[in-house]
Amino acid sequence: MLDRGGSGTGEGADPMGHEISVRELGAARLAGVLHRGDYRKLGTSFERLRELLGPGDWAQVRRAAAVGHDNPRRTAEADLRAHACVLVTEAFALRPPFEEIRYPAGRYAVMLLRGPCDQLPEAGRGFIEDWLAASGEVAAGPAPYEVYLNDPRDTAPADLLTEVRLPLV
């Protein structure tokens, strides 16, 4: 896992009961394919991503991840941009159509979502709009990214675990 030296500060929960901690994370390198449109259809881009990964690539893959670049409340659905990604090592050979997205090492607010991924939009809204505002923390700028800790292909929806990682100042 890419977490390095979790400090455990800022432990707590948001108003919806999701576990939130503030901790130090190592740098993350993501390789992703661009998705345009409804975020709820990101699964089709993950299917494409899996098809593009060759047998030699899997040794460099650590976890599945995603980045939603736009706020669906402010951006028309047709204009929404996201990346279906995998967290990869530095040895991963980046090639088109993969795009690299990097997150620096540093302080992150991390929300743990237990349950189906269709809860992510509302949970993420509560995390960013409610918890962040009440916490006194300041977002560092890049969009948060999601890391999927288990696989929906072999995990019951109620047992899925997703971390939403928000870079902090």
| pLDDT tens by residue, 97-135 | 999 999 999 999 999 999 998 888 888 888 988 999 999
The Cα 45–Cα 57 span in angstroms is: 17
Task: Look at residue 5 and tell me if it is in a domain.
Answer: no
Given 103, 120, 137, which residue is the final one in a domain?
Answer: 103
Q: Can you say how many angstroms the Cα of residue 113 is from the centroid of all Cα atoms in its chain? A: 11
Q: Tell me: do 161 and 111 sit in the same domain.
A: yes
Kindly state the average pLDDT of the residues 70-89.
95
Strands (E), the chain: 9-13, 19-25, 28-36, 61-68, 81-88, 99-103, 106-114, 145-148, 161-167
pLDDT at 14 over 70: no
| Burial zone of 76 (CB within 10 Å; 0-12 exposed, 13-18 middle, 19+ buried) | exposed
Structure tokens at 14: 């948001």
pLDDT at 15 over 90: no
Kindly state the average pLDDT of the residues 150-160.
94
Q: Please give the residue that has the higher pLDDT: either 49 or 17.
A: 49
Given 80, 103, 126, which residue is the final one in a domain?
Answer: 103
Task: Look at residue 4 and tell me if it is in a domain.
Answer: no
Q: What is the CATH number of the domain that holds 48?
A: 3.20.80.10
Domain that holds residue 154: 10-25+105-168
Task: Look at residue 92 and tell me if it is in a domain.
Answer: yes
pLDDT at 161 over 70: yes
- Total structural domains within the chain: 2
Task: Look at residue 2 and tell me if it is in a domain.
Answer: no
Structure tokens at 101: 């997205």
